Every structure is written in C-alpha cells, then in structure tokens.
Structure 1
C-alpha cells in the first residue's frame, strides 16, 4: 500500500537552519464541524541520533487519518552535534508551540481550503516510538501548554537506571571488528546538526545498518556500549529531561505499549513509568505485547494481533475526544 500523501512545512528556524515536518491531512469531510480536527504529533525513533520524519510507520499514519486526525511528523536536530535538551526536546516543543500558535493552520491554508481544516486546539496529541516515545512524553511537562494526551511506544525513561550504562551483547555482536573511533568521530563534522540521518532504528528501511556511514556506525556503537545517554546528554540533569521524574498530577493522560522481549529498552522501565502515572492519579493505560522486541512497530502486519494491541493506544486517545 502506498504511503499517504503529505506536504512539508517549516516549523522552526534556528541559526538560519530550517526544521520541518511532514503534514498529513484526512479527508475534509471527516472533521467535526463543532470542534475541528484533532492533531497528533507523530515522532520518529532513532536513539536521538538517527532517523527522519519519512520513517514513521505508514499504516499508523493511515489509521490516524481514518480517525479524522491531522498527523504532523516532525524532524528534529540529531545528536550529538546538539544535545538532547537543545535539539530533539527543544525542537519538538517548538513544534507543539507552532501548532498552538497557529503555524500549522497557516501552513495548511497555503496548501488547501483553510475553512475545511479548522483545528481543534483542545485535542493536540503526541505519539512516538522508541526515542520518539520519550519526546512525546516530553510534551507533557515543561511546556506552557501540554498536549491533551500521549501515546508512548517503548520510549526510554528512568535515565538514572543502571541499564543505560550497560553494554548490549546482541548489538555488540553486530559491530564490524574494524570500526575505528577516528572514523566514527566524522559524525561531529556535520554542520549544522542534521535533521535527517541514516536509517531509523524503527527499521522502516530494510536491511542491516550501513557501517560505512559514520553516523550509523557511531550510533550503533554508542548503543552497543551503553553510552547513549552520556553521549546525547552529557549534562546528566535527569530532572530536566527524564519523563519518569516529571510525572505529576497535571501530567496528560498517557498510554504505553511495550514488548515483553525488548532488550534495547527493557519493559521494566515502562512498568515503572506506568506505576508512577497511577500513583499520581493520571489517567493511563499500558499494554504489554507478548514476545515482541524493540522496534516491533516496523514489522507489524495490519490486523495482526500485535497490530490490534498497539491500536489500543490510538483508541485511548480517541476516547479522550468523547469526554468533551
């Protein structure tokens, strides 16, 4: 099945660099005449160092469009040229502000009939997979106006956990024996920080990582050696960036989906997040998908059991619309 049509819109300019997003529109007749169109920000994965907006799951985008939602898939600057706070988090929060401040509506008006796509500002949701799940969660705190609901698929959290400094034997086994530090450091030569890079850890592009690409080699080596967080956020101020430490009474309704066999982001981290949400009385839910590892969103077949289970996250967001 072909990818849904989209158009590109610039949501932020930093130092002359344009940072953009892909915008997908449902049929104009699917809108709610009274409330307008809900919006879901769909954030790609890639360990904060890889990926792009083109690598989000097409079937999930289509599911959201079928529900009558506008989908915004932003790019963000990739680490390590910028750190997690300045780049991925800062850019995604700027995207949210752009939507609330009318930038998305203006962009849509240039592409189509503005009257046909009046936005519902009370129902801007965030969704993401892997590192995108973390960034979606970061739109629930530290912003003037959080999103109305969050769907997190196996996003990293609990950054002080010992797991984040542990080597991953399965990933180490993938690394070529002749990778040199000098070669991988070429990633730092990219200027400005790229907003698209290499393959996504979501596996939207088939095949193994291309270790002849310094960015891919650097990212996978960093993951394998348990150095992701110290690389993307050397400041280690976890209170600033860790969703688990920022759960409170005002946190938006949140749904989590995580595979029980995930070795790259252990399910126990999401269980701790879910427990914190419940402890603070946040409307929430969690589904554990038996037998699935990390990045399973890339391999789902529509109408499979895994597909139906992950759809519960979008169903959760849809129920938030019914409470108006």
Structure 2
C-alpha cells in the first residue's frame, strides 16, 4: 500500500498555488538523533523540467525514507517552457526550502495532526531523479540555507557539453509523423504555467507518451532534437543553473547514482560531477548501476540488486544525520 500524505501550499504565484505532498513517518519511529526532531528530505520528481508531478515519485523510495525517520516532501514546481529553468523549477524548489526554514512546514504539519512532529531544520536533505536530481543539486548553491546533503539520481549537468545539442536517436524514432511547430508550441500559451504535466520522462509513471497532448509532444521533440536547454533556458548563462559550475569546497555532501547504459543522460556527465566533488574535497560517493538505463527507477523491484545499490544514496544521507 502506498504511503499516505497530505498536501500543503508552499508558494503562490500570480494567485496560483504551488503545492507539496507531505509524508509523515510513524510517530513511534525513532529519530536518528536522540531527543531531536525528524530530519527532512525534499524528494523532487523528474521530467526534463517540462513534465511530471509530485505524484510520480517512487513510493517505495518514499517508504524507505519514512522507515528511516525522515519526513518526506515531494514538491510540485512550475514546468518549462512557460517559465525558464532558473525562474521556474529552480526558483520554486528553492522557495520550498525557504518555506521549510521560515516555519511553513511546521505550521502545515501542526494543522494536519495532533501528534508531535518536531522538525530538525538543521537536517534538511534533497533527493531527486533526472531533472529532479539537478534541482536537488540546485539546493546546494545560491541559497541562504543549503541542504545538509544531496542524493542525485542520474541528474543532468554540464549543460555546455556537446551532448545537450545532439539528437537522441532513440527518442527521435518514437516521434509520430505530423507533429507541427504550431501544435507543440501551444505550451507557450498555457496560463497559468502548469505544475503538473503528462508522464514522467525518467520513468516514475507508467504508460507511453501521449503525443496528442501538446506538452508531451513538445518535451519529447526537444529531447529528440537535442534542444532541451535551448527551450528551457535560452539565456544559456550556465553559471547560474549548472551544478557542475557551482561545486566548491563548501558544497553539501553529495551521493550520485547512475545507470551504466543511460542514453538520456550519459553517465560520463555524472562522472565529471563526481570528479569535481572529489577535487574540491567535498564528502561524496558514486554508485554506477550495471546494465541500467535512464528509467530504472520505475522498473526496479524492492530487494533486487538495483534496489540495494540505489539505497546506498539514502544510506549516505542517513549517515550524515547519525553523526550529528
């Protein structure tokens, strides 16, 4: 049975609410720190910054975190291209982090339950898959309260790499004929900018893409053409959004998991990120998952080898809590 949650609003933009799903562990669950509050993990969905929603996070991973005593937050964010990467998804996730530190989560939890849920605001972590991994990394720089640790599951980085302007043939062959620019560009007229859209590109939602829906057709077309970042961040000021360009000795401890057969986000990009972390003396780790592609988060079975390998990321975050 999927874990239960309640929904809270962490931000309002032009009168439109942006929400977050809040999962609470059992009150009886012992927290990693004696006599302290629950640590918090922000779990950000994938979808190439253009698709997906909070409902699409892997519920088995959520339950794993709950069993460890974490409060889990799965935020929605505005989807590109109606807003760009920096001012939309990245800004929203950073505002969710601010909402936590400014008492928003405490108020939301207090209004939903009579049980005590003390929060440890010194132990807020971030986790994300695919584009969510990038957004999780974005909570480690240019924020007032960087997260205490990050688990990045095959998130894009190094946005100036030639890969990001190269055609992805495996996606191109799946595009149906007859997708016109007028049809796919309907996404630019969506008001308000949506916070939920279609399938999750990194595999957290079942079902094939629906190319009769402009947003899904737009996203897959950009991936196929190698024009994702041109579509979502035309300014190309990579220093503001690229995690690789923002690694420093003060960057939060980070763990990376990536499949060796990933063609949507090549593992070499994560290897570059890991090398930068090591070079800067950041506490870090990386697990390369044999034989897995970009969508393995959806297909992995609890107890499988892949499941156990990716759990090392949560082990890493939990170890950061226990040492404090």
TM-score (norm 1): 0.98
Deviation at 1:177, TM superposition (A): 1.2
Say yes or no: does 1:123 pair with 2:123.
yes
2:13 is aligned to: 14
Deviation at 1:31, TM superposition (A): 4.2
CA deviations 1:176-197 (Å, max 9, x no partner) are 0111111111111210100001
Runs of 4+ in 1 over 6 A off after TM superposition: none
2:2 is aligned to: 3
SS in 2 for 1:139: helix
Deviation at 1:206, TM superposition (A): 2.1
* Matched residues, number: 322
1:260 is aligned to: 260
For 1:17 and 1:225, the matched residues in 2 are separated by 32
1:140 is aligned to: 140
CA deviations 1:98-124 (Å, max 9, x no partner) are 01111001000000026x101011110
SS in 1 for 2:91: helix
Say yes or no: does 1:67 pair with 2:68.
yes
Alignment of structure 1 residues 58-207 onto 2, 5 Å: 58-113=59-114, 116-207=116-207
1:216 is aligned to: 216
Contact 1:255–1:313 under 8 Å retained in 2: yes
For 1:21 and 1:136, the matched residues in 2 are separated by 15
SS in 2 for 1:179: coil
2:29 is aligned to: 30
CA deviations 1:224-268 (Å, max 9, x no partner) are 000001110000000000000000011000000000000000000
Deviation at 1:205, TM superposition (A): 2.9
CA deviations 1:10-49 (Å, max 9, x no partner) are 0011111110000000001214352210000000000000
Unaligned stretches of 5+ in structure 1? Answer: none
For 2:108 and 2:14, the matched residues in 1 are separated by 21
Contact 2:199–2:207 under 8 Å retained in 1: no
Contact 1:248–1:280 under 8 Å retained in 2: yes
Pairwise CA RMSD: 0.8
CA deviations 1:56-95 (Å, max 9, x no partner) are 0010000001111100000000000000000000000000
For 1:205 and 1:138, the matched residues in 2 are separated by 24
Deviates more, 1:122-131 or 1:174-183: 174-183
Contact 1:74–1:95 under 8 Å retained in 2: yes
For 1:206 and 1:284, the matched residues in 2 are separated by 32
Unaligned stretches of 5+ in structure 2? Answer: none
Contact 1:129–1:295 under 8 Å retained in 2: no
For 1:257 and 1:292, the matched residues in 2 are separated by 11
SS in 2 for 1:200: coil
Contact 2:20–2:54 under 8 Å retained in 1: yes
